[in-house]
Amino acid sequence: MKGYSNGSPAQNPRTLQLRPAKSPHESFTFGNLCAVNSADIPPAQEGHDIHLLINGSFVLSARPIPSFPRGQISLNDAQRTWLQVAMTDVVEVQQYDPFSAGPQSYLGSMDIEVGFAGRKSTDVPYDQDELAQAFIRVFRHQIFAPGQQLLMDFKGIPLRMTVRTVELVDISSLTSTGGAHQMTSPQSRGILTPETAINYYKDAKSPIALLGSMRRPAANSVIRPDFKFEDMGIGGLDKEFSDIFRRAFASRIVPPGLAEKIGIQHVRGILLFGPPGTGKTLIARQIGKMLNAREPKVINGPEVLNKYVGQSEENIRKMFADAEKEQKERGDESDLHIIIFDELDAVCKQRGSTGGGTGVGDSVVNQLLSKLDGVEQLNNILLIGMTNRKDMIDEALLRPGRLEVHMEISLPDEHGRQQILKIHTNKMRTNGTMAPDVDLPELARLTRNFSGAEIQGLVKDASSWALQRHIKAGTMAALSDDVVNMKIRMEDFMRALDEVHPLFGANDEDLERSFEDGIIKFSPYIDKILKNGRECVNQVRSGETPLLTVLLHGPEESGKTALVAKIATDSEYPFIRMIKPVDLNGMNEIEKIRHLTKIFTDAYKSPLSIIVLDNIELFVDWVPLGPRFSSAVLGAIKGLLRNKGPKGRPLLIFATTTERSALAQMQLRFDYEIPVPNVQTQQELGNIMQESGEFGPEDIQRALGEIHETTQRQEIGVGVARVLRAIKTAKQDPDRVGRFAELISESVAYSPS
């Protein structure tokens, strides 16, 4: 420590052999003073007490008086315990001058353990600030060292105190203890001053109760003063961390007495939930870096369960054992104990939800509930639970007082994705292995609905493409000599984007396959349908309508699916999911309901979502013969279509059907309905033939003439999908014009007039 002295014996001290004796008066006993005869040791000037070095290691304050027997020194019980001497022993005593060796040493702070000294006690809690003021008033200018024991009379009740640690500072830095650190060596002694901060801790063996200080921060203040968010290596979660700090830790940095005065109850549990790969476990692990607390305990949910009866519950009790022990010893000054519980849903399912078995799951939940907020509450714990399935957690565990802070760790936005990309490419940039053409803002834009884990996977995949350029020709594993000059380029990231796809994103392949022939605007009405669809997209995007349902209805093969897929793709919503009847094949009613519910739940995890229900009448097993349908699935779909999601998570639902009348009978209603017609006129059919690029003007005239001559009808009444299929079939025939006219004539003949 900079510039402090432990003091030294006075110059040319005279060593005396003195025998311990009882204190002549209570003022000596409770004033931490020794009495000596003034003839053995002369008094100090101006009536000040003197300091004595006992047995070469211990310093006590003494008061010489003429009436005290010569050859003796009074030592009370606490002093003898500290000195480890008996009444029959002889101690070596010499006068001690703490100011003889240069810069003086003073106590910046002390940690003191306090308890009742005898049978006399009280149930009234002691105010720490009041107790500290009395301590300084009684023992001012005395010297204290770690391990020292003393007695103090406070409001008529004897208290026994033990110094645990001290901080020593120079006289010039009494108001700033920068550079000081706690010491436990008995030689690290210092002088008590009015500026010394005293921190009290409860003696675990004593029933004494302490109120928290209202002036100084808690000794267990949890936030490190040098903490910075960027040091944690987590991107895109600034708001989440800010909310966690505000709700879970802000109450722990105020003085405990003030917290007690206004009735603040510390948060004892946080639940982190959200899609896989968004950083829940990473957040929990990194929280330890921002806290001035004990190393967090990490518990994996499945590890708690044990085949032996009662062992699972015992595992839960062990999690809290250290916290319980320390709270009994130190009360409100106990350190914060953090328990990280991963995969919480594996253990804490809804009670009564699992049939059969031994009921171990229910017992584990009950044990956890009692530890978090039972009769004996622990105020020095923070349980951080993590799950992908919040809906599976027992609701009693989620109420205030238990896991009361529910923090959704959702998919990162564009700014967050850019932060995550910077973190995962930091070493590349630092070491010069990333090419200058890599555009991180553009990659952040292209990685819609990527989780943090998926972005990390994207960077790994891009690295593999860069490495492949340096593999020797004709080998699979040998690298070329120029691998040291490897650069990861933008093209590597673009290739990786073709391989790494987000779990919660648009199923682009299904959507693009739905309009692989493009959208042929054979009629002005097609433009109107697309315009109406865009208006619905913008209405939901604006946030004015949190839930909007739109039905596209029309004849079979009229292009409903292609049009809705085009509208959804052009919307650039981060989450687009098309559900087709084939996706539900082989599922019973319950499985269908669960599948549909999961997709809607996933959609609400994204800031903007579109769900397309293609041929919705087939979801409920509707058939025209009978007719029959599944009332359970129908009821579930009705509920999902009307259920608004979380605030700020708008959803646009498109559905297609060829049986609008059936939906009306089933009372399945939508906010907007958009009709999609067939190809009606020869002009529209001619437009499709021209757009296909397979027919010239003369071919089109010939085909239309043959169709009219064969059908004798002005209206075509055929779906655009069937027309496009006829064009592909006719291409295989030498007379493609005649073959096309034949196929369309057959379709017209079988279509309703």
Residue 136 has a pLDDT of 92
Q: Using N-to-C axis directions, what is the helix angle for 720-730 and 682-692, rounded to 10°?
A: 50
Q: What is the pLDDT of residues 20-30, one digit of tens each?
A: 999 988 889 99
Domains of the chain: 15-95 (2.40.40.20), 106-211 (3.10.330.10), 229-408 (3.40.50.300), 414-499 (1.10.8.60), 508-675 (3.40.50.300), 679-750 (no CATH)
Q: Which of 225-229, 477-481, 559-563, 680-684 has the lowest mean pLDDT?
A: 225-229
Q: Which of 3-7, 178-182, 416-420 has the lowest mean pLDDT?
A: 3-7
Cβ neighbours of residue 631 closer than 8 Å, sequence gap 6 or more: none
Whether the full predicted model's pTM is greater than 0.75, yes or no, is: no
Taking the C-alpha atoms of residue 101 and residue 5, their distance in angstroms, rounded to an integer, is 6
How far, CA to CA in Å, does 569 sit from each of 288, 580, 609?
43, 17, 11
Between 17 and 44, name the one with better pLDDT.
Answer: 17
Strands, E assignment, 103-224: 106-116, 126-127, 143-144, 149-154, 157-169, 190-191, 197-202, 210-211
How far, CA to CA in Å, does 588 sit from each of 591, 593, 594, 601?
5, 9, 10, 20
Residue 221, sorted as left (phi over 0), alpha (psi -120 to 50) or beta, turns out to be beta
175 pLDDT tier (thresholds 50, 70, 90): very low
Q: Say which residue the tokens 């009821």 belong to.
A: 635
Residue 688, sorted as left (phi over 0), alpha (psi -120 to 50) or beta, turns out to be alpha
Longest Cα–Cα distance in the chain: 143
401 pLDDT more than 90 = no
- Tell me the β-bridge partners of 405: 270
Cβ neighbours of residue 705 closer than 8 Å, sequence gap 6 or more: none
Residue 174 has a pLDDT of 46
**Residues 468 and 499: beta-carbon distance below 8 Å:** no
How far, CA to CA in Å, does 303 sit from each of 78, 284, 285, 298, 502?
48, 18, 18, 11, 30
For range 488-505, the mean pLDDT: 85
2 pLDDT more than 50 = no
Q: Are strands 106-116 and 197-202 parallel, antiparallel or unpaired?
A: parallel
399 pLDDT more than 90 = no
Cβ neighbours of residue 507 closer than 8 Å, sequence gap 6 or more: 576, 577, 578
Taking the C-alpha atoms of residue 345 and residue 241, their distance in angstroms, rounded to an integer, is 23
**Residues 189 and 105: beta-carbon distance below 8 Å:** yes
178 pLDDT tier (thresholds 50, 70, 90): very low
330 pLDDT more than 80 = no
Q: What is the pLDDT of residues 133-145, one digit of tens each?
A: 999 999 988 889 8
Between 625 and 33, name the one with better pLDDT.
Answer: 33
229 pLDDT tier (thresholds 50, 70, 90): low
Q: Which of 204-208, 248-252, 397-401 has the lowest mean pLDDT?
A: 248-252
Residue 217 has a pLDDT of 52
Q: Using N-to-C axis directions, what is the helix angle for 589-603 and 631-642, rounded to 10°?
A: 10
Residue 548 has a pLDDT of 94
CA atoms within a 13 Å half-sphere pointing along the CA-CB vector of 279: 26
For the chain, give the percent of residues with pLDDT over 90.
19
Taking the C-alpha atoms of residue 394 and residue 350, their distance in angstroms, rounded to an integer, is 4
Structure tokens at 111: 């940690």
Residue 652 has a pLDDT of 94
